[in-house]
Amino acid sequence: MNIVLLGAPGAGKGTQAQRLVADFGVAHISTGDLLRAAVKAQSELGVAAKKYMDAGELVPDQLVIDLVKERLAADDAQKGFILDGFPRNTTQAVTLDTELSAMGRELDGALLVDVPAEVIIDRLSSRRTCRDCGYTAGPDTQTCPKCSGEMYQRDDDKPETIKNRLDVYEKNTSPLVEYYRGQGILKVVDGNRDIDVVYGDVKAELGL
């Protein structure tokens, strides 16, 4: 199973990916997680990426592509992968196709988790994240239930930044829907429902 997850920030792609990983043992490759880890480690890539992330802007293509190529070469990605947050535009999609072809691999599907913008703004602006392990929860959770770390609101989860993220997504990423539809591998699920219901549809669309 080699798939790309599509959808706006906050559509619930990560949640669905985590369940697929748990059930089917493939690698979950989240560019958001990779970039946040680089920022926390204050690596050269992390320092360069942070200024874009804090403003709710997209990190430049080459920084992300280099990171994803390295991750795809890891052992756990050899039996399958779920790309979450990449590609973000058609240029990256073409590059991904080229890189996979060079590895003797190809995508099995592109899954779009579709959620209205107003729902996403409400979801993300109420979200809190653990500073230590990245666990996410609602606004009433002060202490992480997983590691007891401090819960805080990320800069890119503030309403004004979310609006900018959605505008950037619509401009840059939504054309991917047509790109993969043209390849005949696009699959769409309604993400504005109970998580279990959405997951059932995800598995059905992927033939799992």
pLDDT, the chain, mean: 89
Percent of all residues in the chain with a pLDDT value above 70, rounded to a whole number: 100
The structure's pTM equals 0.73
Say which residue, 62 or 206, is predicted with more confidence.
Answer: 206
Q: What is the average per-residue pLDDT within 129-153?
A: 91
Pick the most confident of 14-23, 128-137, 154-163, 177-186: 177-186
- The per-residue DSSP string of 151-176 comes to EE--GGGSHHHHHHHHHHHHHHTTHH
Query: Comparing 144-148, 166-170, 186-190, which segment has the lowest mean pLDDT?
Result: 166-170
Paired sense of beta strands 186-190 and 2-6, if any: unpaired
Q: Which of 13, 50, 71, 128 is catalytic?
A: 13
CB 151 within 8 A of CB 128: yes
Q: Which of 88, 123, 128, 187 is catalytic?
A: 88
Q: What is the average per-residue pLDDT within 168-196?
A: 91
pLDDT digits (tens, 9 = 90+) for 27-60: 999 888 888 888 888 888 888 888 888 888 878 8
Q: Which of 19, 131, 154, 181 is catalytic?
A: 154
Q: What are phi and psi of 83, to 5 degrees?
A: -90, 120
> Which of 15, 167, 178 has the alpha carbon at shortest distance from 110?
178
CA distances from residue 158 to 56, 122, 128 in whole angstroms, order as listed = 10, 10, 10
pLDDT digits (tens, 9 = 90+) for 150-162: 999 888 788 888 8
Active site residue 19: no
Q: Answer whether residue 143 shows pLDDT above 90.
A: yes
Residue type, 80: G
Active site residue 88: yes
Look-up of token digits 């559509």: 11
Active site residue 154: yes
**Residue 183, pLDDT score:** 95
**Residue 133, pLDDT score:** 92
Q: Which residues contact 196 (CB under 8 A, 6 or more apart)?
A: none
Active site residue 71: no
Q: Which of 36, 50, 127, 187 is catalytic?
A: 127
**Residue 26, pLDDT score:** 92
Sign (positive or negative) of CA dihedral 84, 89, 91, 94: positive
Q: Which of 50, 71, 123, 165 is catalytic?
A: 165
Active site residue 165: yes
Sign (positive or negative) of CA dihedral 7, 16, 147, 32: negative
- The total of other beta-carbon atoms located within 10 Å of residue 10's CB is 23
Write down how long the chain is. 208
